[in-house]
Amino acid sequence: MRPVNPATGEQIDAYEQADEDDVEAALARASDAFESWRQRPMREREQLLLNAADVLRDRKAEYAELMTREMGKPISQATAEIEKCIWGCEHYAQHASAYLADDHYPSPAGSTVKTAYDPLGVVLAVMPWNFPFWQVFRFAAPYLTAGNVGVLKHASNVPGCALAIADVFREAGYPEGVFQSVLAPSSLVDDIIADERVEAATLTGSGPAGRAVASTAGEHLKKTVLELGGSDPFVVLEDADVEHAAERGAWARNQNGGQSCIAAKRFVVHDAVYDEFVDQLVEEVEALTVGDPMDESTDVGPQARQRFLEELHEQVTASVEAGATVLTGGEPLDRDGAYYPPTVLADVPANCPADSEELFGPVATVYRVDDEAEALEVANDTRFGLGASVWTADRERGERLAGQIDAGCVYVNQLVKSDPRVPFGGVGDSGYGRELSAIGIQEFVNRKTVWIE
């Protein structure tokens, strides 16, 4: 593995790829570790998670810089990502005991009936490059604390992050084998899932990758949680605070270089405020600073790989050829690195790539609608169903519309985000299952009914 700094095109380092023997050894260690790890008192597992938070805090700058070098995330956003991982660890260290406490039920006199939450065993995590620390910690913090053990197969362009995360758990005092990063190729994922020592799998990534994992896991009757792509609508109604919505919308589309499943991608705007909103959105987008991701003042860095930029530009070009109008951006920047400018497309024809596909980069599409009913129709006109947001001065109206949008999470007057306190996940082609909160930690447990007479 030879990761390349997307801001410069220079190779960062070289890592040896894991082979079948390495995977076998990792699974053996994981299986052995589970037998003792599952018996560790919950309070001890929670304390180790607090230790992990301390390691992250102590090495925050180092890990943020590693992220920025490997996938181009602006350093201020990389620092914020580490801080979010700390929050996630501290959240589960505080609440895991309550989330997994036995549930008791009415029962005949003299008997006790309850549900106990037992860990499943070895869980495989196939994780993406766009949030290389947070995606892993929102898997590892709850599932390890529940008593499972984890094997991470991270994206091939962030091997340094993968190994650094393993170091976090090792330095925190976790026993050998409880968390491992295996730099295995994607070609070995099916074999890992099929292995009898692996009990479950979670994936955050593309639709094709999710289908492949679900197919193999289904064949072997193993539990999965999938968080896949998104094409989130950002609905602006006629009574919205246009200036605020445009400012938030520009950030919701372009944070992390637009490389986020829950980024605002389709701006669905009421005709009464369309022109004002679009003008304001373009102004906000053009004010974003594109540049060196190591610079604290940078808002938008490079795309994570040159080929990702090329694929994005092919989608934009095809959409323009079909009739879309470029309001700003639309061409790769003439500079070293995989830089694509924040872009806004209007007059987007039905079924062109910008309309029907996920644009995984800093490209916003805007749609004009005549009324609330049409706004809902356009918002739901997608095979995805991850997140959505509604912008209106009437909170009750926003809540009512939220109930009619087909998505795993809908935010009113707020950009879509993941939060350790609330469940996160999608419907449709955006996957199934939930991460985070009590529901997330309970995804990979055996909900065991215990009847004591």
The length of the chain is 453
Q: Are 377 and 370 in contact (CB under 8 A)?
A: no
Q: Are 298 and 289 in contact (CB under 8 A)?
A: yes
Residue 343: closest CA among 388, 390, 389, 300? 300
Token output for 176 = 């050998």
Residue written as token pair 């309850």 = 114
Token output for 404 = 């009619």
SS3 287: coil
CA–CA distance, 146 with 441 (Å, rounded to integer):
7
Helices (H), 228-339: 242-254, 271-286, 306-322
Token output for 250 = 């520009």
Query: Of 90, 227, 284, 358, which one is the catalytic site residue?
Result: 227
Please provide the CATH number assigned to the domain covering 232-412: 3.40.309.10
Mind spelling out the 3-state secondary structure of 202-257? EEECCHHHHHHHHHHHHHCCCEEEEECCCCEEEEECCCCCHHHHHHHHHHHHHHHH
Token output for 256 = 């992390």
Give the rounded distance of the alpha carbon of 62 from its chain centre.
22
Residue 315: closest CA among 360, 381, 253? 360
Q: Which residues pair with 412 in a beta bridge?
A: 390
Q: How far is CA 122 from CA 38, 191, 289, 362, in A?
A: 11, 14, 43, 37
Q: Tens digits of per-residue pLDDT, 292-317?
A: 999 999 999 999 999 999 999 999 99
CA atoms within 13 A on the CB side of 306: 11
The angle at the Cα of 254, spanning 252 to 259, to the nearest 5 degrees, equals 100
The angle that helices 75-99 and 42-58 make with each other, rounded to 10 degrees, is 170
The angle at the Cα of 79, spanning 55 to 42, to the nearest 5 degrees, equals 35
CATH 3.40.605.10 fits 20-228+428-452, yes or no: yes
Residue 35: how many other CB atoms lie within 10 Å:
10
Q: Tens digits of per-residue pLDDT, 400-428?
A: 999 999 999 999 999 999 999 999 999 99
Domain residue ranges in the chain: 20-228+428-452, 232-412
Q: Tens digits of per-residue pLDDT, 331-383?
A: 999 999 999 999 999 999 999 999 999 999 999 999 999 999 999 999 999 99
CA–CA distance, 421 with 393 (Å, rounded to integer):
26
CA–CA distance, 303 with 362 (Å, rounded to integer):
9
CA–CA distance, 73 with 415 (Å, rounded to integer):
19
* Per-residue model confidence (pLDDT) at position 322: 98
261 is catalytic: yes
* Per-residue model confidence (pLDDT) at position 236: 98
Q: Are 33 and 177 in contact (CB under 8 A)?
A: yes
227 is catalytic: yes
Token output for 297 = 């003042």
CA–CA distance, 249 with 240 (Å, rounded to integer):
12
Classify strands 122-126 and 149-153 as parallel, antiparallel or unpaired: parallel
* Per-residue model confidence (pLDDT) at position 99: 98
H-helix or E-strand containing 193?
helix 189-194
For residue 419, with 0-12 CB atoms within 10 Å meaning exposed, 13-18 middle and 19 or more buried, which class applies? middle
Mind spelling out the 3-state secondary structure of 338-373? CCCCCEEEECCCCCCHHHHCCCCCCEEEEEEECCHH
CA–CA distance, 165 with 160 (Å, rounded to integer):
9
CA–CA distance, 279 with 419 (Å, rounded to integer):
31
Residue 246: closest CA among 280, 275, 269? 280
Regions in the chain scoring below 70 on pLDDT:
none
Query: Of 85, 89, 161, 261, which one is the catalytic site residue?
Result: 261
SS3 125: strand
CA atoms within 13 A on the CB side of 294: 9
Model pTM score: 0.97
